[in-house]
Structure 1
């Protein structure tokens, strides 16, 4: 008799993800202790020793320190990971700042810790437990922000982050469970005798994602019928190819329009802005104006992120205002962007950098 169908589904997803990686190197499961990442960790512990060749597999949990008793909770998760057979299994405590809002700040702290862990262990990849439900929520949040096709494309199945100051090729992240729903991971945990931890933050309506999960999506299901989650996730997949092609063209346009040697070389890093803020980004306005809008706005968004504007809070309205500095300039000096970044036009050039730097330069 085979495993429970939910367990089998999670294992198959992990097996396929492992098959798509280089044969050598450790794979790490990032585990919060919730049902999604716990089912992922258990599947990785099962599949890694059965891979050909056998693959080392570890697990890590991040202690954000945002709740009382978080260190105790992290220790419990580590014991579960070790009990599953993941080695090494450990936790990393982080300090969550305030930049870009609480959700973005926690995310940045988490990814920075995962980057460091993966590089230290020379891991081939870090597996994340995001599901189809998470994908649908991400697409709906992107729609609400009005940030274009890239936001509507949702989360990629895999991506590479290049930590600031690192000479390594970067850290690869993989989401094996994007085609599975949250109910499947819960069933898998029950079948394996694993008790997931439900983060209280996942029920806090102060967070936009929680409101989407418990209010917006149920309302859409009620008004339009079942299948909204699947439809949103499918839309994300369909838009990703288009967004990838446009982003590739935009990267070339970025390099062509950037002023070399003045902070203008390079483009947006992997997910989460892994390249880190640059001192400044400078473009020739004439070259930007000659681009189709679909490419130009991508270039402007990438420049704002490279200059330090958090991707999660940079919305289409911000990019549109910067675009007006290029296409509808009537002498306006600057546009203030999230993260203390300012875009301003001067002498036929468009500059992105810290707002304080431009104020200091003008003597205000």
Structure 2
């Protein structure tokens, strides 16, 4: 019953999101979030469920995008194929590619597997520049998603029409990947992750289990690539790069690999970081790196683990006793973050924007990179926030343990 409610709420959220966030920017972000959810969930099939650290997952989402954009151009030339089915072309193309490359890649596990995927990723990315006839060179391959005959009056020209196509694929793919975790193959994949020797002892081939999971994950990654091709109407070699694979790894981990919904959170964070955070500051990659380090040290289970831990506290009646501590942690954390961010922004301004003058605006406050008061003040704010955060965190832990002791 609870599972039905969760899936119903998920479908309702996908359906109502563009009605709540009505601006064109919001619809663009929602489309990208749906695409990112599929690819991050597919990546977690490897990392979270199978223990396979891949540095080349972008190969399969990228090749799906390239096959989809070429198919879209064939539809424009008269091929009788609905545009709504083009993402499936990308999915099956990536599945076929993974069927070839995956057999070699999955012969090893752990660190050798990661190194092989890195090599495969660099190999395919280099080939994208060697064969401009297919990959389009540095300019990439462009297309027009308003192709073929409209189905029920839907041409996918307006962004809202494309959003609902992406939302439908997102819901179906999410449901299928969740169902995979409940299949014997999904359970065996968990066993291969935890103890491959025992799996081999009971008669299963760990390499075959990894291979099948690898191919299935590539299929869903190809679907996300096909949706991205329809969304952006252009595909470049960047979609095959190691940078893209690293982004999948980073944000899937930040969301939480031990929970099924963790990559969904990570996908949302990835779009917000790439689209919004990158537009707010030049130091956005540095912020991401710092956040990743902090999460690894403080919450290696990702954001999902923090959510589940706090839900357990709420289930045992701790929320009413801890709301003051929660508020104090948030305020002191934001205070220390503001001080650290002010220092970073001044450093970037001094190095990159010195020609614009010594002053910059930061959250409504004017800072002077040549004035000691701005540097000292920002440092004091950061240190004060860190000190208060440590005290509040210690009190928070004591408040949790106290009822248990009593």
Q: Same fold (TM over 0.5)?
A: no
TM-score (norm 2): 0.25
Higher helix share: 2
Which structure has the higher relative contact order (CA within 8 Å, separation 6+)? 2
Report the structure, 1 or 2, having the larger strand content: 1
Determine which structure has more spread, i.e. the larger CA radius of gyration.
2
Tell me the TM-score normalized by structure 1.
Answer: 0.27
